[in-house]
Every structure is written in structure tokens, then in C-alpha cells.
């Protein structure tokens, strides 16, 4: 009898009492067991069906679909393409796993996404780069009229490096640069929103540091000094006084003004902030008692000019006024050497120190309340020092209070103070620095009156009178000639 094939399966490790470990018999009554083979993926062999070339091409990753304004309707085929590409991109991002960086020579993406040149206290915008470029190439000459003739730029050599390390000072420079930018004339900080924003940011940062004060840094001092200068330049004398009171307290906490002598640029910045308001108000400077500069130009008290000799014979100038006069004469000669490229950085530093010392001495001198002639002479020398510096922003009211005081003193004495020649020289100086229109018109009218009183009807004769005092055609010729023309033009118009 034919028996169908069978298989017996035994357990290799039978356990006692377990019926599942007994041998099993499998019979194949209908032949060997037929198992379905695994399904092969892909197109069957011999298939002639082909896909569209646009979808099968490996390099075809993009499809162009017209979605312009003229063709707002998207057909069915284009919609299919859009959905297909969107889903492919979605699935790719979903299954994509981040790779670990095992190569030490390759930087991780967190590092490569950082700008290697972004080393500033805060991220600079494009307009900030433009402002800094303007300030370090053109704008700085407004505040450094002496150093520009000696090829010395304190902005690039000192201040800009300090600003890149401190956010408050960098905000201050940006605000100052925007207020002086060439795209608009000086109209004050109020008309410059960006300048106001940067200066407010600088003030906020300084206030936070003062609230948690541990040490007074150079950056804190220079920020407060610069803001004080800008406040005075826009005519806010009261705000200037507030900043100077705070600056004086910070300097006291630093150890006194004498502790800054090893940093002449920083000390000069504080002196400039002190003098810009003290000169206009004709008051004793804030740092006059802490630091008393000495004359470095000359100590000779001989008056060489014939015009000043007449003034000395008339009012008997004291030693302080004679020292200041001689120092200003030496400063004028040194400035002429710098303009003619006959001096360098040493001469520029010497000139600035001498002029600053003279201004501190003139402001610290006692008020000549009992002698109007000497007081008029002192105010005129202060005006000449400002004309020699010539570092004020055009149309900034930094000497109007001084000129008003000169005007009141002149009227109280019924226009009989000193000689007509000296008064004419003083009116030219006042007209040179005046920003108030009414004050300048008063100076122009007085110039015409003095010319008529001395029977002067030409510019050449006027120069002969100016040469009796501190005068140099290279320094003042062009500006004073313009004032002379304006005076007679204004006199004819009224």
C-alpha cells in the first residue's frame, strides 16, 4: 500500500512531564507543501510601460509653474506638481536625521552661522557703518581743529578702539556722528531721531552702571563728557550743568582730576566738556579747583603790539591778563606753523595744552566788577581763544551768553570802554562766533559804526587796524573779510 510522505520532528531537549516535547508527525497527503515565494518589487520583466521623463529623470528636481499676476489660474497638472514637490520635501525633512560631526577639521553649523567679524558690543546695522565711517574720516575734524593739521586723528588712534569695547560709548559716538552728518545742517539733536535713540541708550546704560557702581571706568567718564558737550551744543545749558555735576562726582570717585594726567586724551575730553559751558556762562570751571594748568607756551609778560600797549596805559592791565595775552599770541604763532605744515604731534599737543590753560586761567580769574574796562578786555580774550580753537559746530549756540554779557557791559558804559580800534577788533571776534541772529546783527552794525568813526572805508584799512592786536591773515583773513562784507551789506539793507 502506497503511503504518503511524512516528517517526524523530535525535541532536542525534552523536559519530563511536558507533552509538548513528544515527537510530532506531519503527513503530506497531497504532495510536498507549496509555499508562496516572496513578492518581487519593481516592474515585471518585459514591461513596456514608461513613466513621464519629467518624473523619472534623476536630475529633474525643479518644475517651473507660471503663477504671475497675469495668470492667476493654476491648472490641475500644476497643482499636482506643487503637491508632489511639497510632500517630497516634507517627507525628506521628516526622515532626515542630524549627523554627528566626527571630523575635527570641520566646524559645526552653530559656529559657521556666526559672523566672524561681528565683534562689536551690539550688532551694527548698515547705517551705523556709514555713520562711523563719516565720523572717523570727516566729522572728527570739527572737534579737533588743531590735531587735523598735524596728521593726528584721535578717533582712529584711540576713541574708536575704546568704543568697540563698550556699548554705551559706541552708542554715544553713533549719536554724535548722526547729529553731525553731512546730509542735513545742524538743527539740534531733537531733529535727529536716530541720534536721540542712540544717546538715550547710552544714558540708560550709564545709569545702570552707576546704580551698581564698583569702579569708575574711562568709558563712563567719556560718555558723560560727550553727552554734556552735545547738550551744550544744542543750547541746553541747564542739562549741561546737570551732566557736569554728575561728571564731577564720578571724577571724585575715580580719585580726582590729577589721576587722569597719564591719559591726556581722556583728560582733554573732560576739559572740553567743562569749558564749552563755562566759557559761554563766563563762570568758574568745574575742574578749576582740582586741576590748575600752567602756561606752556611762554611766561613772558612783555606786550609787543602797539594797540595793546595803549590799552595797558589806559586801564593798567594786571599780571594775569598780561600772561594770558602773551600766551594767546604764542598760540597764534604756533597755530600758523601747524597750518603751514611746519609742526607735528608734539606742537599740536603743546598748542592745545597752552590754549586750554589760558582759558582756565581767564575763567578762574576774579570778576572785575569795579573795573568795566578790564572785564571787557578779559571777555574779549576769551572770545579770541574760541576763535583760535574754532571747534564749535556751525550755528551751535556756545558763545551767545558770553556775547550778551559783552553787549550789556558795553551798553552800561555808554560805549566808552576802551579805544575804538580795540572795540572794532572785539566786534569782529564776537561776530565770528555768534550764532544768534540778533546778536550777530548787533556786531555787524557796531563794525560799521566804528569804521565810520575812524573814517575807514576799505577792507585794507580795516586790516591795518586789526594788525594792532592779535591778527594773522592765514588764520582769520577769509572769515573776517566775509564779516566785513556782511556788515556793510546789512547796513545798506536796513
Could you tell me the sign of the dihedral formed by the alpha carbons of 248, 252, 256, 259, in that order? negative
Q: What is the pLDDT of residue 298?
A: 47
Lowest mean pLDDT segment, chosen from 153-162, 262-271, 300-309: 300-309
69 pLDDT band (50/70/90 cuts)? low
Q: What is the pLDDT of residue 291?
A: 44
Asked if residue 15 lies in contact with residue 21, where contact means CB atoms within 8 angstroms, the answer is yes
Asked if residue 275 lies in contact with residue 398, where contact means CB atoms within 8 angstroms, the answer is no
DSSP string, 21-55: GS-EEEE-TTSSPP-PPPPPPSPPTT------HHH
pTM: 0.72
Residue 92 CA, chain-centre distance (Å), reads 49
Q: What is the pLDDT of residue 398?
A: 80
CA 296, CA 354: separation in Å to the nearest integer? 5
Alpha helices in 392-436 (DSSP H): 400-412, 420-433
DSSP string, 182-227: TTS----GGG-HHHHHHHHHHHHHHHHHHHT-S---HHHHHHHHHH
Q: What is the pLDDT of residue 447?
A: 92
How many of the other CB atoms lie within 10 Å of CB of 1? 2
391 pLDDT band (50/70/90 cuts)? confident
User: C-alpha cell of 176?
Assistant: 554724535
- Domain coordinates in residue numbering, the chain: 126-281, 306-493
User: C-alpha cell of 453?
Assistant: 568813526
Say whether pLDDT at 392 is over 50. Answer: yes
CA 183, CA 153: separation in Å to the nearest integer? 23
Between 62 and 137, the higher pLDDT residue: 137
Over residues 247-271, mean pLDDT: 90
Amino acid at each position: 500500500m502506497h503511503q504518503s510522505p511524512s516528517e517526524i520532528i523530535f525535541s532536542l531537549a525534552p523536559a519530563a512531564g511536558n507533552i509538548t516535547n513528544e515527537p510530532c508527525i506531519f503527513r503530506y497527503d497531497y504532495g510536498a507543501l507549496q509555499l508562496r515565494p516572496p513578492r518581487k518589487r519593481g516592474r515585471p520583466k518585459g514591461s513596456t510601460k514608461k513613466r513621464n521623463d519629467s518624473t523619472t529623470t534623476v536630475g529633474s528636481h525643479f518644475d517651473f509653474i507660471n503663477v504671475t499676476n497675469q495668470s492667476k489660474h493654476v491648472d490641475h497638472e500644476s497643482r499636482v506638481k506643487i503637491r508632489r514637490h511639497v510632500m517630497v520635501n516634507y517627507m525628506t525633512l521628516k526622515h532626515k536625521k542630524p549627523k554627528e560631526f566626527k571630523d575635527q577639521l570641520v566646524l559645526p553649523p552653530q559656529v559657521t552661522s556666526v559672523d566672524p567679524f561681528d565683534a562689536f558690543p551690539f550688532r551694527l546695522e548698515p547705517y551705523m557703518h556709514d555713520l562711523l565711517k563719516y565720523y572717523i574720516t570727516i566729522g572728527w575734524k570739527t572737534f579737533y581743529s588743531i590735531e587735523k593739521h598735524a596728521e593726528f586723528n584721535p578717533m582712529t588712534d584711540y576713541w574708536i578702539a575704546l568704543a568697540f569695547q563698550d556699548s554705551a560709548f559706541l552708542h554715544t559716538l553713533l549719536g554724535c556722528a548722526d547729529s553731525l552728518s553731512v546730509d542735513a545742517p545742524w538743527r539740534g539733536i531733537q531733529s535727529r531721531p536716530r541720534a536721540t535713540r542712540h544717546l538715550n541708550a547710552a544714558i540708560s546704560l550709564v545709569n545702570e552702571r552707576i546704580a551698581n557702581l564698583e569702579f569708575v571706568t574711562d568709558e563712563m567718564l567719556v560718555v558723560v563728557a560727550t553727552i554734556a558737550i552735545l547738550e551744550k551744543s544744542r543750547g541746553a545749558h541747564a542739562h549741561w550743568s546737570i551732566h557736569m555735576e554728575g561728571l564731577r562726582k564720578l571724577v571724585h570717585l575715580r580719585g580726582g582730576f590729577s589721576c587722569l594726567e597719564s591719559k591726556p586724551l581722556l583728560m582733554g575730553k573732560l576739559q572740553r566738556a567743562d569749558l564749552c559751558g563755562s566759557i559761554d556762562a563766563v563762570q568758574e570751571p568745574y575742574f578749576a579747583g582740582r586741576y590748575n594748568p600752567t602756561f606752556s607756551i611762554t611766561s613772558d609778560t612783555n606786550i609787543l603790539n602797539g594797540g595793546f600797549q595803549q590799552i595797558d596805559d589806559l586801564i593798567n592791565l594786571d599780571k594775569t591778563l598780561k600772561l594770558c595775552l602773551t600766551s594767546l599770541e604764542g598760540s597764534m604763532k604756533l597755530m600758523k606753523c601747524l597750518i603751514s605744515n611746519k609742526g607735528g604731534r608734539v606742537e599740536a599737543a603743546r598748542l592745545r595744552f597752552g590754549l586750554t590753560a589760558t582759558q582756565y586761567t581767564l575763567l578762574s580769574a576774579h570778576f572785575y566788577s569795579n573795573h568795566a574796562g578790564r572785564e571787557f578786555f578779559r571777555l574779549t580774550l576769551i572770545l579770541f581763544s574760541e576763535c583760535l580753537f574754532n571747534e564749535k559746530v556751525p550755528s551751535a549756540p556756545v558763545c551767545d551768553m558770553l556775547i550778551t554779557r559783552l553787549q550789556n557791559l558795553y551798553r552800561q558804559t555808554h560805549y566808552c570802554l576802551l579805544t575804538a580800534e580795540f572795540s572794532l577788533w572785539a566786534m569782529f571776534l564776537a561776530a565770528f562766533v555768534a550764532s544768534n541772529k540778533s546778536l550777530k546783527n548787533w556786531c555787524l552794525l557796531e563794525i560799521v559804526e566804528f569804521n565810520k568813526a575812524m573814517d575807514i572805508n576799505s577792507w585794507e584799512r580795516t586790516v591795518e587796524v586789526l594788525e594792532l592786536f592779535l591778527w594773522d591773515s592765514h588764520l582769520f583773513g577769509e572769515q573776517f573779510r566775509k564779516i566785513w562784507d556782511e556788515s556793510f551789506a546789512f547796513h545798506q539793507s536796513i
